[in-house]
């Protein structure tokens, strides 16, 4: 039976948040429009975080204001990262319909990334989740460092399961499992998924795998076989986390779609259009696309 795969494009946020040079608002808006035209229907467009912490996301309000052209396409979701109430209120004022809350499975990363403990972060999300429920705003949850943390080392699967279930209890419709530093292999990813899926159904889990060690596509495939149908990815493999030194971008969206095109699975995304988009943004950023599929297709 053909399975439907939901691809959550995180390039405009996770992909661009770590860029050293300023990426203009116009480039971001053009990128989002091109992504919509590939058939992607979930595009994380910005984060409402402190500009002192992540300067590249400082133009979140302008990006949101520039979205109408892309919003003409029906059924496109534009989730926004919101770490606290201040972020949530600003995102709602900009017209957000979906927000993402993000906690970590490691204390070290939680402190470095959002300046509080895991327990404090969950407490911060309580009023945010209440308000989201009241306003009918969809909430997506993220757990970072599901395999290993750059500060605390290996992470126990039981800890990931605990944080994921907290995010679900808060009302998240889905929890995205972040291998933030790309340390996972199919074996460690499956151990983690087995622990989490005992508490959160696989249908409400997403894989968010960075490709630092070149394992992201293998990890996606293992997770798909396990039963996951939602995966986060970044056009041209852009990205990295400012608080995970050396970590590279997510699995490239082109590589993900190529994988699923070769399986009995449908993403609804046009691979040729993705490759064009990846070539365009890589050219704007002055580098080669970080996707084997795009490089191979451009070389034809
Ligand atoms: P803080 O300094 O602890 O915040 O930062 P605070 O509440 O003590 O406030 C200090 C100042 O920041 C105040 O301003 C607040 O108004 C302001 P002041 O009075 O000094 O002028 N402030 C804000 N400004 C703008 N937007 C806000 C906001 N909140 C407070 N939302 C905070 C806490 C969470 C804001 C900070 O740590 C932060 O912005 N961190 C950013 C973290 C981040 O974006 N990391 C990358 C994304 S996570 C990721 O990539 C992982 C993921 O991809 C999954 C994976 O791969 O694993 C999702
Ligand atoms: Mg990430």
pLDDT in tens, the chain (300 residues): 899 999 999 999 999 999 989 999 999 999 999 999 999 999 999 999 999 999 999 999 999 999 855 455 668 999 999 999 999 999 999 999 999 999 999 999 999 999 999 999 999 999 999 999 999 999 999 999 999 999 999 999 999 999 999 999 999 999 999 999 999 999 999 999 999 999 999 999 999 999 999 999 999 999 999 999 999 999 999 997 778 888 899 999 999 999 999 998 999 999 999 999 999 999 999 999 999 999 999 998
Indicate which ligand has the atom closest to the C-alpha of 109.
Answer: 1
Summary count for the chain: helices (H), strands (E): 12, 13
Whether pTM exceeds 0.95: yes
Ligand 1: which of 18, 49, 181, 207 to mutate, judged by most atoms within 8 Å of the beta carbon?
49
Catalytic residue at 145?
Answer: no
> Ligand 1, closest atom to CA 102?
58
What angle, rounded to 10 degrees, do the helices at 216-226 and 186-197 form?
A: 40
The residue whose CA is least distant from atom 51 of ligand 1 is 144
ipTM > 0.85 for the complex: yes
The residue whose CA is least distant from atom 47 of ligand 1 is 241
Query: Of residues 94, 145, 149, 241, which has the active-site annotation?
Result: 241
DSSP 12: I
CA distance 259 to 280: 22
Indicate which ligand has the atom closest to the C-alpha of 178.
Answer: 1
Q: In terms of Cα–Cα distance, which of 243, 244, 278, 238 is closest to 258?
A: 278
Q: Which two tokens stand for residue 243?
A: 């608080």
> Ligand 1, closest atom to CA 87?
31
92 lines ligand 1 (CB under 6 A): no
For residues 151 and 112, is the Cβ–Cβ distance under 8 A? Answer: yes
CA distance 296 to 290: 11
Q: What is the largest CA-CA distance in the chain?
A: 53
115 lines ligand 1 (CB under 6 A): yes
| Residue bearing tokens 């009023």 | 127
* pLDDT, position 71: 54
For residues 63 and 45, is the Cβ–Cβ distance under 8 A? Answer: yes
| Residue 264, CA atoms < 13 Å, CB-side half-sphere | 4
How far, CA to CA in Å, does 8 sit from each of 31, 36, 46, 206, 300? 15, 12, 13, 9, 28
3-state SS assignment for residue 43: strand
Ligand 1: which of 16, 18, 50, 140 to mutate, judged by most atoms within 8 Å of the beta carbon?
50
């Amino acid at each position: 039976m053909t399975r439907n795969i939901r691809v959550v494009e995180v390039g405009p946020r996770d992909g661009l948040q770590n860029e050293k040079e300023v990426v203009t608002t116009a480039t971001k808006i053009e990128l989002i429009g091109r992504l919509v035209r590939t058939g992607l229907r979930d595009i994380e467009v910005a984060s409402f975080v402190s500009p002192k912490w992540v300067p590249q996301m400082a133009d979140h309000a302008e990006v949101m204001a520039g979205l109408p052209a892309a919003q003409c396409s029906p059924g496109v979701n534009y989730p926004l990262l919101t770490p606290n109430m201040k972020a949530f209120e600003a995102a709602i004022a900009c017209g957000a319909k979906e927000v993402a809350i993000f906690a970590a499975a490691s204390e070290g990363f939680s402190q470095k990334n959002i300046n509080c403990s895991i327990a404090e972060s969950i407490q911060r999300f309580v009023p945010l989740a209440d308000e989201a429920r009241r306003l009918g705003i969809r909430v997506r949850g993220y757990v970072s460092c599901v395999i290993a943390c750059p500060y605390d080392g290996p992470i126990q699967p039981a800890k990931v399961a605990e944080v994921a279930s907290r995010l679900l209890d808060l009302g998240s419709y889905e929890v995205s499992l972040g291998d933030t530093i790309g340390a996972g292999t199919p074996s460690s990813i499956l151990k983690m998924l087995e622990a989490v899926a005992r508490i959160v159904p696989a249908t409400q889990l997403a894989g968010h795998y960075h490709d630092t060690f070149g394992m992201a596509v293998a990890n996606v495939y293992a997770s798909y076989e396990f039963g996951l149908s939602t995966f986060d990815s970044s056009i041209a493999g852009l990205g990295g986390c400012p608080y995970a030194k050396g970590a590279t971008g997510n699995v490239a969206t082109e590589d993900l779609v190529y994988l699923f095109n070769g399986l009995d699975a449908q993403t609804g995304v046009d691979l040729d259009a993705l490759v064009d988009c990846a070539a365009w943004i890589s050219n704007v950023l002055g580098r080669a696309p970080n996707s084997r599929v795009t490089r191979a297709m451009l070389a034809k």
